Amino acid sequence: MNWYAIKAIYLSELHRSWRTPLQSIASPVLSTSLYFIVFGSAIGSAMTSIGGVSYGAFIIPGLIMLMVLTETTSNASFGIYMPKWSGAIYEVLSAPVSAFEIVVGYVGAAATKSIILAMLILLTARLFVDYSILHPLWMMLFLVLTCITFSMLGFILGVVADGFEKLQVIPLMVVTPLAFLGGTFYSISMLPEFWQKVTLFNPVVYLVSGFRWSFYGTADVSLTFSLVMISTFLLIFLLFIWWIFKTGYKVKV
């Protein structure tokens, strides 16, 4: 293992985020705060509680997921797309590093950044809403798994995309809608029966449900199923990355 290389990639990627603190930290924290104010405090005060949890507290896990999914995907994709675009990627590609080490460096950094972001949002939420975390260890496990999984998705996007537009399409047109419809603002039991069935095809439902369970002990789907689903995504993305490097797809000719 080339540990120095992993460290170099990891640190320089984290560094890249510090260079733009407004964009990478302040703006997602601010926009989540707006959700808390509007949905949590303003609208939430007029809503009945869901499963014994006040509406303001109910939406916290979902909102964190929403922000983590979109931010992680786009941040991780930029991390690899930018050097590809500028040509600076030549250095990593000519270095004595394995594909695995490259992925650990880039994905690790993106995931770390997302975890930090999630923590900041969680702390900020405290200013607006009172909440409790029933299973903090499970909460961390879900968070870490989700951050890693979507960092990998971002990495894949960054490798495959051949233009800035394509880079933004997936986070904006796929991840955001799925996250919005994944039970962030409601329990899926509140939907008509038909839509409940449809919703089960939305992978984000399982992430939000499991994450919310770790806060309040209530879930839309079973905990095991949530874990199985997130592990499945992790595995799929991992295989895809492995395939990318194996075939050199869009990396080397």
184-212 in b/e burial notation, b at 16+ Cβ within 10 A?
bbbbbeeeeeeeeeebeebebbbbbbbbb
Residue 27 to residues 32, 43, 171, 178, Cα–Cα distance (Å): 9, 22, 16, 21
- Residue 224 CA to residue 61 CA, distance in Å, equals 18
Rule CB under 8 A: is residue 221 a binding residue for other proteins?
no
- Residue 49 CA to residue 63 CA, distance in Å, equals 17
Rule CB under 8 A: is residue 83 a binding residue for other proteins?
yes
Rule CB under 8 A: is residue 22 a binding residue for other proteins?
no
DSSP 220: S
Task: Tell me whether residue 51 or residue 248 sits nearer to other proteins (CB atom).
Answer: 248
Instruction: Name the minimum Å distance from CB 85 to other proteins.
Output: 10
- Residue 49 CA to residue 58 CA, distance in Å, equals 8
Instruction: Name the minimum Å distance from CB 28 to other proteins.
Output: 20
Binding mask 63-82 for other proteins (x = CB under 8 A): -------------------x
Instruction: Name the minimum Å distance from CB 238 to other proteins.
Output: 22
Total residues at interface with other proteins (CB under 8 A): 29
Q: Which of the residues 35 through 64 are near other proteins (CB under 8 A)?
A: none
Rule CB under 8 A: is residue 88 a binding residue for other proteins?
yes
- Residue 43 CA to residue 135 CA, distance in Å, equals 27
Rule CB under 8 A: is residue 249 a binding residue for other proteins?
no
Task: Tell me whether residue 25 or residue 47 sits nearer to other proteins (CB atom).
Answer: 25
- Residue 251 CA to residue 172 CA, distance in Å, equals 24
Residues that bind other proteins (CB under 8 A): 2, 4-5, 7-9, 11-12, 15-16, 19, 82-83, 86-98, 248, 252-253
